[in-house]
Structure 1
């Protein structure tokens, strides 16, 4: 069975899929066709149900039909996550963010939902995630919501970190992990038995990466965006952790909590059933 497998051109995703890509993990039942696109594009493709298995933002799951969440492959922050940055010379404060124009990396990203939960209403300007620091520096926006490795690599000589959403989430939820990215699989193309089989295979690819860290990071360096190997390794191991192997009850609870908060604040129009296989 051929599976279209969507993931992002980001180091942590590449690390997780290295077992598949290098042939270290495989199955006679599945032939994998890799589709590599940015996360908001994958979110939109999942809405159109174009892929059998794909990485999506946890937020995007609220709008999907006929997909279940795989237990492995989730990107959860552990008291860390997306960061709102602003130019140091502008004197931006947390209190002023509500009236600011903030660059966001996509409306369906989990980072955007978390910021809405934390701030309420603000003026958003959607743009590609890699252009956000440049837009902030040029004064096109008052602040920017940075994701991926930019969370730890933004120039602290030029930018101030105004709000760390991982810390905010931790304080609001009593220490639940920060739900950012998940992998979902189609119930239209696979039954529950086949879904579980693929889910278990994916976990093996994650474990292969963790068991072969140097080779996996070397592979992930093709998506380093100019960052040194030490930085990419640090970023990868922030988001490929024990909860990535299996989100378990805590991971599911974190996703449910995010959707419950969004429903209570009328960001989401209806309740969301979180189905993990």
Structure 2
């Protein structure tokens, strides 16, 4: 039995539906734990479970124990996090200088992208960063408890309902300045499982993605069950945005994007340096 943790978000339940339900021929049986990515990041740092969906940002702390699988994760274009404010902002004059910003995690790719953008754009830096649960961030911005909020996932489609304004699309900034797609969520597995098992896990994840694409209606009930109160149309948009060719296979472009993010973050002393070859698959 392979112990795995991934989020209840539509992209993860869509990707792993076939595997979790024993529909992938020859795949190891899964014991699934649902947890938001800030929780799975911590699980990875503590060495819990065999396979985890985590932020690319946490990899520098866990690559000694875990290997990056070349499939199953979230990496793409036009899918980056947003910085939201209650009033229209003016980033050219550093509208966040000295302000308070709520973020969902300090171990997330979104946070790294935010810090890299702020280092280039916000004179003197932001005043204070506070960590809030993801679902509390937009209400906190709306109610004036914080000056801005860093949001991810389906908030791209729903922030207008809170009367909020997009200050910056951090993914757009990343793509424009680097040319790379945006590395968001990674699938990792314990190196101690051994190379043959790691390859089997990767192929199982890849086949689960292919099966989800081939028969998307099969996973619909599973996706809706775990998407809580998310509107079905938003869930469909979520899947379309975050499940793409990089989910099936990172490829050279995916690995280059991950390396670029971690190298830039290391240069800014946001994460430890990653040894050459540490991202390579067995």
Q: TM-score under structure 2 normalisation?
A: 0.91
Which runs of structure 1 show a deviation greater than 4 angstroms over 4 or more consecutive aligned residues? none
- Give SS of 1:148's match: coil
Post-superposition offset of 1:268 = 2.4
State how 1:116-195 maps to structure 2 within 5 Å.
116-120=115-119, 121-122=125-126, 123-155=128-160, 158-174=163-179, 176-188=180-192, 190-195=193-198
Distance in 1 of aligned mates of 2:69 and 2:234: 28
Distance verdict in 2 for CA 1:194–1:14, change over 3 Å = same
Give the paired residue count: 271
- Give SS of 2:233's match: helix
Note the aligned Cα RMSD (angstroms).
1.6
Distance in 1 of aligned mates of 2:101 and 2:165: 14
1:53-91 deviation digits (Å, cap 9, x = unpaired)? 000000011111311111111201313311111113xx4
Preserved contact between residue 72 and residue 183 of structure 1 (Cα < 8 Å) = yes
Distance in 1 of aligned mates of 2:139 and 2:274: 37
What residue ranges of structure 2 are gaps of 5+ in the alignment? Answer: 120-124
1:53 counterpart (51, 54, 58): 51
State how 1:205-216 maps to structure 2 within 5 Å.
205-216=208-219
Distance in 1 of aligned mates of 2:153 and 2:263: 25
What residue ranges of structure 1 are gaps of 5+ in the alignment? Answer: none
Corresponding residue for residue 240 of structure 1: 243
Q: TM-score under structure 1 normalisation?
A: 0.93
